[in-house]
Amino acid sequence: MQRLALHYPPLDPAAEPPTEHILQQSNPTMSNIISQAGQMAKEALTSAPDSKKIEDLKNEFKETGKDARLTTDYGVKQTSADDWLRIVSDDKIGPSLLEDPFARERIMRFDHERIPERVVHARGSGAFGKFRVYESASDLTFAPVLTDTSRETPVFVRFSTVLGSRGSADTVRDVRGFATKFYTEEGNWDLVGNNIPVFFIQDAIKFPDVIHAGKPEPHNEVPQAQTAHNNFWDFQFNHTEATHMFTWAMSDRAIPRSYRMMQGFGVNTFTLINAEGKRHFVKFIWTPELGVHSLVWDEALKLAGQDPDFHRKDLWEAIENGAYPKWKFGIQAIAEEDEHKFDFDILDATKIWPEDLVPVRYIGEMELNRNPDEFFPQTEQIAFCTSHVVPGIGFSDDPLLQGRNFSYFDTQLSRLGVNFQELPINRPVCPVMNFNRDGAMRHTISRGTVNYYPNRFDACPPATHKEGGYLEYAEKVAGIKARARSSKFKEHFSQAQLFWNSMSKVEKNHIINALGFELDHCEDPVVYGRMVQRLADIDIGLAQTVAEMVGGEAPTTTSHPNHGKKTINLSQTEFPPETPTIKSRRVAILIADGYDNVAYDAAYAAISANLAIPLVIGPRRSKVTAANGSTVQPHHHFEGFRSTMVDAIFIPGGAKAVEQLSKNGRALHWIREAFGHLKAIGATGEAVDLVAKAIALPEVTVSNEAEVNESYGVVTLKQVRPESFKDTVKIAKGAAGFL
């Protein structure tokens, strides 16, 4: 961001009035400064390999080089970081002195390290990247970020869970936040979305209730980062409008495999205005290049304990390895005159716009390619506001969005203070100039003698639309003041049924099991008993199955029979990767002393060549010796690392190694657990029988003497031929459900 300094010429009463004339000629003036700033910005863009935002941030970096010496915050070099200044005599310790400014500063700074965590979405992780449109949306908007195909817009994206505290686990069942800050040349645009396209409530006034009901209960602060408790489900029963959303929240979408494998949805209805002044209602959608994938519930539960930072590490690791995650950016658009042509209200955030009615037009692409330098000042202090849009993009009367536009700005004031937009991560890359002043932690220094407008210098006047001033759409609004919603907002079950019907058989089973888990955690019979009745409004069969699991009375009739309709692109099976790949996936190679080094080397090479991550797991982390006497130091040992943390496993043969592995309970557990979690398992030589023994299921064929054999995701090859490994890895891709 170019902070503009205002130098005003001294006022000479005899001189000409300071009008246009001054603006154009004297130096520096507003117009000069702005054009200089624009020029500097352009140069920075063309000459720097880093994005303009990264260049901008470089001004703030503090490096701790080896020549640097420890100083206080006021710059004085410190002589000790170990001992408080105190009285000592005859090798005896006396009292510590309050006068020690070094020690007091350290403790005082530490005492104040915490700021309030986000009231929702406290747990999160972020990265820098870039956004580009490959097809102009100029028929819909005049916003260059969506029309200029030559432009690369820097972004920062923060992913999050909703309910847990800052230190909670990543893999809990929850909605995921997907918030993007676009640092555009016209100002910041914050698209604050989720990985589920609808929300629990229609009106923002209910937000405190839905969140209180989901967060830990007030009397004992239990449970953490879970919706599996009485209050959450009590709220769901009392809000029929939440039915659609909770069905999504019970689906696999709420336990993503990775942030990199989730869709993102703006959820709310926004508007776009084109150069002719025509307005469309729109929804924004991100779809990942890697496809949409989830964990299975057992895996998610275990990972929450085994590796609570699983998603955070996954994103970091992928970016460090150059496997930059990418999303396509799409728009659904409805012309203003078609607003009322649907049997749902298009401003109701508990409804999707089914893609068979309103297709998604993909026009752009985002790539995340740089990890933050420091978590707190960047990922923690980034502040999103739904009200931050750029010219050409506008709001709608969606009652959830209207409330959000108030809430986000307000919450940043209590979290970060009134000058939150000056923080390096939040400040725009374009010039910022206004007469907002002062407030806690203000650090911009504005030069000049006036801090108001209009002023006698005509400094900093508002922009015309031609100059890029924000254009408010001249919407005609008439009505009576009332606490009410339109009648279409009152229909609450049709799309919950649409979602349920559109799920595959496996996905339906997962929803049943999720409801079974959640309602089992509700001790109050009123809660699970009533919820089971509610499920009949989605599907009577679903309600009956869950009733049997959780102990509620099974409903026999419903006033909302399932309409039987389906739509496209709700099942995540419809989102395979654009190109099948195991890139950035983790593959464990299980070894013990005497392992077959030929198979090991071939598998290791094939995994690396496919840009996946081979992780060698042994009985210990000290060296393990192969059949030919060579040694390797495993990355981890069986106890230290678990099958939940990888996508596939491979076991090379070797008679001695396999004998040891077959006696090692933890190694057998690795194989069984990986199979139970639907992971690809590869084995060669003697390890084929080991896998057969561990899985012990007659329908899984694991032995074939000569050819690569694949059954239920288990790929075996009795006779090792290194050249077969290319195919083996390919087959494993399909088997693991990577496709």
- Which residues are marked as active site? 121, 194
Strands 613-618, 586-590: pairing kind: parallel
Cross-strand partners of 714: 681, 711
Report the sign of the C-alpha dihedral through residues 718, 723, 726, 731, in that order. negative
Cβ-closest residue to ligand HDE? 177
In the complex, least distance from residue 384 CB atom to ligand HDE, rounded to whole angstroms: 5
- 3-state SS, residue 35: helix
Residue 321: count of CB within 10 angstroms of its CB = 13
* The token pair that represents 392 in the structure block: 């050409």
Helix (H) or strand (E) holding 59: none
| Shortest distance (Å) from residue 486 CB to ligand HDE | 17
Decide if residue 121 touches ligand HDE (CB under 6 A). yes
Residue 114's closest CA among 185, 167, 173?
A: 167
Q: Which of 194, 396, 405, 545 binds ligand HDE (CB under 6 A)?
A: 194
CA distances from 617 to 19, 316, 636, 640, 646 (A): 75, 22, 5, 9, 11
Closest of 118, 92, 394 to residue 266, by C-alpha: 394
Binding residue for ligand HDE, selected from 54, 119, 512, 700, defined by CB under 6 A: 119
Angle at 352 between CA 506 and CA 291, to 5 degrees: 50
Report the alpha-carbon angle 537-543-545, nearest 5: 160
Taking CB under 6 A as the criterion, which residues in 127-186 touch ligand HDE?
Answer: 158, 160, 177, 179
Q: Least CB distance from residue 207 to ligand HDE, whole Å?
A: 4
The yes or no reply on residue 85 touching ligand HDE (CB under 6 A) is no
Least distance in angstroms from the C-beta of 414 to ligand HDE = 10
Q: Work out which of 140, 155, 213, 267 binds ligand HDE, going by CB under 6 A.
A: 267
Q: Is 124 in the site for ligand HDE (CB under 6 A)?
A: yes
Query: Site size for ligand HDE, by CB under 6 A?
Result: 26
Q: Least CB distance from residue 379 to ligand HDE, whole Å?
A: 8
Nearest CB to ligand HDE, comparing residues 330 and 682: 330
Contact 130, 366 (CB under 8 A): yes
* Minimum gap (Å) between residue 156 Cβ and ligand HDE: 10
CA proximity to 272, closest of 205, 206, 361 = 361
Amino acid, single-letter form, for residue 651: I
Kindly state whether residue 644 participates in binding ligand HDE, applying the rule CB under 6 A.
no
The full 3-state SS of 649-683, as one line of letters, equals EEECCCHHHHHHHHCCHHHHHHHHHHHHCCCEEEE
Contact between 225 and ligand HDE by CB under 6 A: the answer reads: no
Interface characters, 704-723, with ligand HDE (x: CB under 6 A) = --------------------
Q: Beta 636-637 vs 613-618: how paired, if at all? A: parallel
CA atoms of 92 and 299, how far apart (whole Å)? 56
Is 425 among the residues that bind ligand HDE (CB under 6 A)?
no
Report yes or no: 619 and 595 within 8 Å, Cβ to Cβ: no
Site for ligand HDE in 431-460 (CB under 6 A): none
Nearer to ligand HDE, 225 or 349 (CB): 349
Residue ranges with strand state E in 371-420: 393-394
Minimum distance from residue 266 beta carbon to ligand HDE (Å): 6
Could you say whether residue 199 binds ligand HDE (CB under 6 A)? yes
193-201, 279-287, 485-493, 730-738 -> range binding ligand HDE (CB under 6 A): 193-201
Question: Cα 288–292–294 angle (5° rounding)?
Answer: 140
Residue among 143, 163, 192, 515 that touches ligand HDE (CB under 6 A): 192
Minimum CB distance to ligand HDE, residue 584 (Å): 23
Which CB sits closer to ligand HDE, 232 or 408? 408
CA atoms within 13 A on the CB side of 560: 18
List the beta bridge partners of residue 284: 331
> Which range of residues in 44-52, 113-121, 219-227, 652-660 is near ligand HDE by CB under 6 A?
113-121
Pattern 335-374, ligand HDE, x by CB under 6 A: --------------x-------------------------
| 631/477 Cα distance (integer angstroms) | 76
Site string for ligand HDE, 378-407 (x = CB under 6 A): -----xx---------------x--xx--x
Task: Quote the least distance from Cβ 425 to ligand HDE, whole Å.
Answer: 11
Q: Check binding of 189 to ligand HDE (CB under 6 A).
A: no
Task: List contacts with ligand HDE (CB under 6 A).
Answer: 118-121, 124, 158, 160, 177, 179, 192-194, 199, 204, 207, 267-268, 349, 383-384, 400, 403-404, 407-408, 411
